[in-house]
C-alpha cells in the first residue's frame, strides 16, 4: 500500500470532524494531498480559505476514485449510503475508513465491499456540541482515543496505514470489535445525550409557570445539559443503528434513578449518601479532579 506520506487522502464530509481531520493532516504535512469532498461549493471554498484541504470537489466519484485513503466523515446514515455508492469507484488497494459514532452497522456494510478495497471502521472519541466546518480545528484529535475496527479481511498493511493516519493527527489508536464499541459508547456517549435531553425537557416542564427558572440556570445546568445541543439528525442516526445497547443503558439509568426515588421517599438518606459518595469518588478518579 502507498505510505501515508505519499498518499492522497480524500475526506468526504467537511463538517467538524472532516474539517478537523483535513486541517490536522495538512498542517502537519502528514500526507501528499488532502482532497475535500462536500455537497456545497461554499463549504469547499471555506475549507480552501482555511487551508484545511489542498483542493476540493462536489463530485463524490471524482473525489474518491484516485484516493489512496478515503475517510467518510458524515453522519452514520449517510456513511452507510456512501459505502454502497462508492464501492465500485475506489481504486484497488484503497483504504476506506470512517468516523461514524456507531460501528456494527457500518462494519457490516464495509464487509460487502469489493475484495480489493481495504476497510477499517473508525470512531474518534472527541467532538463538540456545535458542529460545522467553522468549528473545526487542527488539534481536535490531539491526545484523544481513536477507535479502530478492522475486519477479518483487512490486511495487516491496511491496519498499519490506518494506525499511522490516526497517530499522525495526534490521536491514540485503540482496537475494538464493533459490537463491544457500540455497547461501551452507548453508556458513555449516547446515554448522556438522552439524559441531557431529559434534563432540559424536565426543567422546561417544571418551569412552565415560572420563566425565572431559566434566569437562575447557571454552570451546573449548563454543564450537565451541554450535549442536548448536539446535532439532532446525527443523534437520530445513532439511535437507529445502536438501538438495543442504548435501550439497555436507558433501562439501567432508570433503575438507578428509581432506587434514588425510593430511598428519598422512604427517608433512607444513608443509602443516598453512599451513592453520592461512590459517584463522586469515581468521577474524581476518572478525571483526576480536572474539569471536563
Instruction: Give the model's pLDDT for residue 193.
Output: 96
Domains of the chain listed by start with CATH number = 4-176 (3.40.50.720), 180-287 (1.10.3660.10)
Please list the ranges in the chain whose pLDDT falls under 70: 289-292
Instruction: Give the model's pLDDT for residue 292.
Output: 39
- DSSP letters, the chain, are ---GGG-EEEEE--SHHHHHHHHHHHHTT-SSEEEEE-SSHHHHHHHHHTTS-SEEES-HHHHHTT-SEEEE-S-HHHHHHHHHHHTTTSPTT-EEEE--S--HHHHHHHTTS-TTSEEEEEEES---SS-SGGG--TTTTTT-EEEEEE-TT--HHHHHHHHHHHHHTT-EEEE--HHHHHHHHIIIIIHHHHHHHHHHHHHHHHTTT-THHHHH--HHHHHHHGGGGS-HHHHHHHHHHSHHHHHHHHHHHHHHHHHHHHHHHHT-HHHHHHHHHHHHHHHHHHHTT---
Instruction: Give the model's pLDDT for residue 21.
Output: 98
Instruction: Give the model's pLDDT for residue 70.
Output: 98
pLDDT digits over 117-135, tens only? 999 999 999 987 777 999 9
pLDDT digits over 169-203, tens only? 999 999 999 999 999 999 999 999 999 999 999 99
Amino acid at each position: 500500500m502507498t505510505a501515508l506520506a505519499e498518499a492522497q487522502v480524500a475526506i468526504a464530509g467537511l463538517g467538524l470532524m472532516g474539517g478537523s481531520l483535513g486541517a490536522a493532516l495538512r498542517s502537519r504535512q502528514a500526507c501528499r494531498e488532502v482532497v475535500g469532498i462536500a455537497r456545497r461549493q461554499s463549504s469547499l471554498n471555506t475549507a480552501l480559505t482555511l487551508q484545511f484541504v489542498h483542493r476540493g470537489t462536489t463530485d463524490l466519484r471524482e473525489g474518491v476514485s484516485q484516493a489512496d485513503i478515503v475517510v467518510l466523515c458524515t453522519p452514520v446514515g449517510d456513511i452507510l449510503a456512501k459505502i454502497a455508492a462508492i464501492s465500485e469507484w475506489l481504486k484497488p488497494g484503497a483504504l476506506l475508513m470512517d468516523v461514524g459514532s456507531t460501528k456494527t452497522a457500518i462494519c457490516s456494510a464495509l464487509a460487502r465491499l469489493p475484495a480489493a478495497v481495504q476497510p477499517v471502521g473508525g470512531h474518534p472519541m472527541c467532538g463538540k456540541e456545535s458542529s460545522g466546518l467553522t468549528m473545526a480545528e487542527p488539534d481536535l484529535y490531539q491526545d484523544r482515543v481513536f477507535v479502530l475496527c478492522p475486519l477479518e479481511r483487512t490486511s495487516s498493511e491496511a491496519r498499519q496505514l490506518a494506525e499511522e493516519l490516526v497517530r499522525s493527527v495526534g490521536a491514540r489508536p485503540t482496537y475494538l470489535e464493533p459490537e463491544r464499541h457500540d455497547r461501551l459508547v452507548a453508556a458513555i456517549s449516547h446515554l448522556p445525550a438522552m439524559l441531557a435531553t431529559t434534563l432540559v425537557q424536565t426543567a422546561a416542564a417544571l418551569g412552565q409557570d415560572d420563566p425565572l427558572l431559566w434566569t437562575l440556570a447557571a454552570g451546573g445546568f449548563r454543564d450537565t445539559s451541554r450535549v442536548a445541543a448536539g446535532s439532532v439528525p446525527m443523534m437520530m442516526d445513532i439511535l437507529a443503528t445502536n438501538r438495543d445497547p442504548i435501550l439497555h443503558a436507558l433501562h439501567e439509568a432508570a433503575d438507578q434513578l428509581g432506587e434514588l426515588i425510593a430511598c428519598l421517599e422512604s427517608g433512607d438518606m444513608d443509602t443516598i449518601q453512599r451513592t453520592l459518595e461512590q459517584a463522586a469518588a469515581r468521577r474524581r478518579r476518572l478525571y483526576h479532579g480536572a474539569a471536563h
